[in-house]
Amino acid sequence: MDIALTVNLLIKPMAIAFLVAFLATPVVVYVYKHLGWLEDPRKVKANKATHTYPVPRGGGIPIFLAIVTASLLILPIDKHLVGILIGVSLLMVTGVLDDRLDLNPYLRLGLNLMAALTVTGAGIGIAYVTNPFGGIIRLDQLQLPIRFLGQTHDLWIVADILAVVWIVVFMNMVNWSKGFEGQLPGIVVVGAITIALFSLRYSADVTQWPVAILAAITAGAYLGFLPFNFSPQKIMPGYGGGTIAGFMIAVLTILSTSKILTAMVVLGVPVVDATYQVIRRIASGKSPVWGDRGHLHHKILDQWHWGKRKAAIFYWLITAVLGIFALSLNSRQKFYTMIMLIVVIGGLLLWFNFFSNWHDQFGRDKHSKI
């Protein structure tokens, strides 16, 4: 690919999104502070907060403005883009309401579902998935024609249902990875750039150009937000910034020839961590949607006693390494990589939550007998 095409597909859209987010974020910080919309760590439920002073959320607003502005300036407006931007708008509004009212998690989940439905309603579905052991599995065979506004539309039942489930689940997995300063925007930048580079592999196919551009826009939006979220943070991503991240990457994986496994490898740490938390909470008789301090990032801060900058950079580097793997491995190798991540991260979480506590308790008991 020549330099001019690379600039148009990646650097230019990323730069525009970066600039909008970088300029808009201080304004949001000022407005939220002026209104008193701050998250006080002393009032956070389940003691899951890692910040020590009141901080505005609101990160979804500048990220939203960056994605929408850059998309409308660069991308052709079609039904796919309209559906995506409507979904992003809904998540931004949800984030602002949550910043102010601390919405019930089940209400937020319902709004997530609506955002995902705007995408499938625009015709974005998972037509097939790659079989790691060879071939593809088609999901567009079962179709239901629907008459709407004088036109007939084909509803891909399995493909659309899977797309909705994938988007909702993935946006929540990514949203849970904003436990401390700089964690979320850094891994999203890496993930989005990976998808952009993956799409550029097929640059001869012009239908992949908008995917690469939208991925670059997503990376630029979170890169512009990152300086204000890095420790010591001036603003947090909030629910809006977290879910928009997962939403965009989930949709991009569908558009980039349904490379779901690629996203799962790149963001393997938050994916495995989130899966573990759901299983752990259900096994202990709790609702999986209510947060606590059981996440990997909490354990790294609490038990390894790492500083937030060190922990954030650690997450970025791990995500970057996994991104390189995702670009260089075939489907079968990605599948085995996910198995490895499940074993390694799952084992680490088990150690943090069970064995380390037992070891500490054993040490205290032994010491008390001396």
pLDDT at 346 over 50: yes
Q: Which of 14-18, 121-125, 365-369 has the highest mean pLDDT?
A: 14-18
Res 357: pLDDT: 54
- Contact assessment for residue 179 and residue 292, using Cβ atoms and an 8 Å cutoff: no
What pLDDT is attached to residue 241? 96
**Segment 113-139 mean pLDDT:** 85
By three-state DSSP, how is residue 144 classified? strand
Contact 41, 52 (CB under 8 A): yes
Residue spans of alpha helices (H) in the chain: 3-6, 12-35, 60-74, 79-101, 105-121, 157-175, 183-200, 209-229, 238-255, 260-266, 268-283, 296-303, 308-328, 331-350, 356-368
Backbone conformation region of residue 285, classed left if phi is above 0, alpha if psi is from -120 to 50, else beta: left
Distance between CA atoms of residues 316 and 318, nearest Å = 6
DSSP letters, 160-213, are HHHHHHHHHHHHHHHHT--SSTTHHHHHHHHHHHHHHHHHHTTTTSGGGHHHHH
Instruction: Please give the residue that has the higher pLDDT: either 73 or 359.
Output: 73
pLDDT tens across 103-112, in order?
Answer: 999 999 999 9
**Residue range 186-222, pLDDT digits in tens:** 999 999 999 998 888 765 566 778 999 999 999 999 9
Does the pLDDT at position 351 exceed 90? no
pLDDT band, residue 370 (cuts 50/70/90): very low
Confidence of residue 151 (pLDDT cuts 50, 70, 90): low
- From the list 68, 298, 55, 95, the residue with the least C-alpha distance to 178 is 298
The percent of residues above 70 in pLDDT, for the chain, comes to: 86
What does the pLDDT look like over 18-31, one tens digit per residue? Answer: 999 999 999 999 99
Residue 136 pLDDT exceeds 50: yes
Higher pLDDT, 59 or 357: 59
Would you call 55 helix, strand, or coil by DSSP? strand
Residue with tokens 């979904």: 87
Adjacent-strand bridge partners of 148? 151
pLDDT > 60? residue 368: no
Provide CB contacts within 8 A for 343, sequence distance 6+.
none
